[in-house]
Amino acid sequence: MKKLLIVANWKSNKTSLEAKEWIKRVTSYDLRFTNKEIIVCPSFLHLPILKSYILNHKFPIKLGAQDISAFSEGAYTGEVNGRQLKEFVDYVLIGHSERRQNLNETDDILNKKVEMALEHDLKIIYCIQNEETLIPKGVNIIAYEPIFAIGTGRPETPENAKKIKEIVSKYNPEHFLYGGSVSSDNIADFMKSSMDGVLAGGASLDPLEFFKILENA
């Protein structure tokens, strides 16, 4: 059976100590969900610490990166490339609207990022903002993240999310996720609307709230 993907996108939040404390708190709850995959996307900086902490304790948590370089290894100051990421993560977020807006990521750049992720066998969680967003070939997971819903406390309706899922079904994604003001109060409605999981930002920062999201999914 296909697992639901419950993704915590921490964005630019948490020190490494806070990140480890979050994992400690979340794993103090009963995480023996057989049908849910927990994916945490922290800052690059925290990946090595979290990776060894998770491995040592055999916690049922996968890691994802919030970005990937559009370039391969080499003279690209400040970039983190796919080969480096593959050491630590299984998943990578590409196409988030915050990066499109704040860092001017264009479809061209995003295509290159997708190519890099595919080259290094990373599972891509590709964010689309509406049904017109271009979706590159090879994307396995599509996350519908309408801009008006991100960080506003005003989520999309589950019915509209389902409509977008139907429209993009021609791309045959393995999973279709919803993201934008997801919380423990509204997640059940999105699940009823046949979402294959969610991408939670603000609500994922608190361990108890994230656990409730997992429980209610």
Which amino acids are annotated catalytic? 96, 145
Closest distance of CB 72 from ligand PGA, Å: 27
The answer to whether 46 and 16 are in contact (CB under 8 A) is yes
Distance CA 130, CA 134 (A): 9
Quickly tell me which residue has 């480096």 as its tokens.
84
Quick check: 64 binds ligand PGA (CB under 6 A)? no
Q: What is the DSSP string of 60-89?
A: SEEEEES---SS-SSS-TT---HHHHHTT-
Closest distance of CB 96 from ligand PGA, Å: 6
Q: Cβ atoms within 10 A of the Cβ of 4, count?
A: 20
Closest distance of CB 147 from ligand PGA, Å: 9
Amino acid letter, residue 180: G
Quickly tell me which residue has 């393995």 as its tokens.
174
Closest distance of CB 155 from ligand PGA, Å: 8
Considering beta carbons, is residue 81 or 143 the nearer one to ligand PGA?
Answer: 143
Quickly tell me which residue has 């919803």 as its tokens.
178
Considering beta carbons, is residue 81 or 156 the nearer one to ligand PGA?
Answer: 156
Instruction: Give the DSSP H/E element, type plus range, for residue 165.
Output: helix 158-168
Q: What is the DSSP letter of 75?
A: S
The piece of 46-54, 63-71, 187-195, 201-209 that touches ligand PGA (CB under 6 A) is 201-209
Applying CB under 6 A, which of residues 26, 187, 199, 214 lies at the interface with ligand PGA? Answer: 199
Binding-site size, ligand PGA (CB under 6 A): 13
Applying CB under 6 A, which of residues 38, 124, 200, 213 lies at the interface with ligand PGA? Answer: 200
Quick check: 150 binds ligand PGA (CB under 6 A)? yes
Quick check: 9 binds ligand PGA (CB under 6 A)? yes
**Contact positions vs ligand PGA (CB under 6 A):** 9, 145, 150-151, 179-182, 199-203
